[in-house]
């Protein structure tokens, strides 16, 4: 519970092998379409983070940010949701300490336009139930 971006991974293209989904599995399906090469890489900008540990941190501003993000538990949160002072420096210190992890904005390697959608699905005995509409 409260974990994102964990196996199984469902590729956007055909592969000869893969995970077998079972009743009760909850997955996110996040296809994307592009007019570029169809390959993505990490960009320089980071806007999404998640809490991965809990250690003492010396910087008071970082402790304040940590208090602000604790309600999200291990769910991802956006930088724009936070209001603390010295936010960028605090996030950098929290990541350096292994308390949070960052998810860089993904870029299409040829600079192509990208569109993306997402559905969360619960696998049932007779198919699946889409929980996002």
Beta carbons of 103 and 76 less than 8 angstroms apart: yes
Residue 1 has pLDDT above 70, yes or no: no
Chain length of the chain: 133
Q: Which CATH number fits domain 32-116: 3.40.50.620, 1.10.760.10, 1.10.1040.10, 1.10.10.10?
A: 1.10.10.10
Residue 4 has pLDDT above 90, yes or no: no
Where would I find the H helices in the chain?
60-69, 87-96
Q: How far is residue 28 CA from its own chain's centroid?
A: 11
**Looking at residues 32-53, what average pLDDT do you find?**
91
**Looking at residues 29-53, what average pLDDT do you find?**
90
1-10, 30-39, 57-66: least confident range: 1-10
Residue 124 has pLDDT above 70, yes or no: yes
Q: How far is residue 40 CA from its own chain's centroid?
A: 15
Residue 3 has pLDDT above 80, yes or no: no
**Dihedral angle computed from the Cα positions of residues 66, 68, 73 and 78, in that order, rounded to the nearest 10 degrees:** -100
Residue 16: half-sphere exposure toward Cβ, Cα within 13 Å: 0
66: number of Cβ within 10 Å: 21
Question: 78-92, pLDDT tens digit by residue?
Answer: 999 999 989 999 999
Q: What is the pLDDT of residue 18?
A: 80
Residue 67 tokens read as: 């208090």
Q: What is the pLDDT of residue 16?
A: 87
Tokens 């992890």 locate to 101
């Amino acid at each position: 519970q409260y974990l994102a971006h964990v196996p199984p991974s469902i590729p956007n293209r055909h592969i000869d092998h893969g995970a077998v989904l079972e009743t009760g599995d909850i997955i996110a399906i996040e296809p994307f379409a592009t007019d570029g090469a169809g390959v993505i890489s990490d960009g320089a900008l980071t806007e999404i983070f998640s809490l991965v540990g809990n250690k003492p941190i010396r910087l008071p501003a970082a402790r304040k940010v940590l208090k602000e993000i604790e309600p999200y538990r291990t769910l991802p949160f956006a930088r724009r949701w936070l209001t603390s002072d010295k936010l960028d420096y605090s996030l950098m210190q929290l990541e350096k300490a292994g308390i949070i992890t960052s998810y860089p904005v993904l870029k299409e390697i040829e600079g192509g336009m990208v569109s993306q959608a997402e559905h969360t699905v619960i696998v049932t005995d007779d198919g699946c139930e889409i929980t996002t509409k």
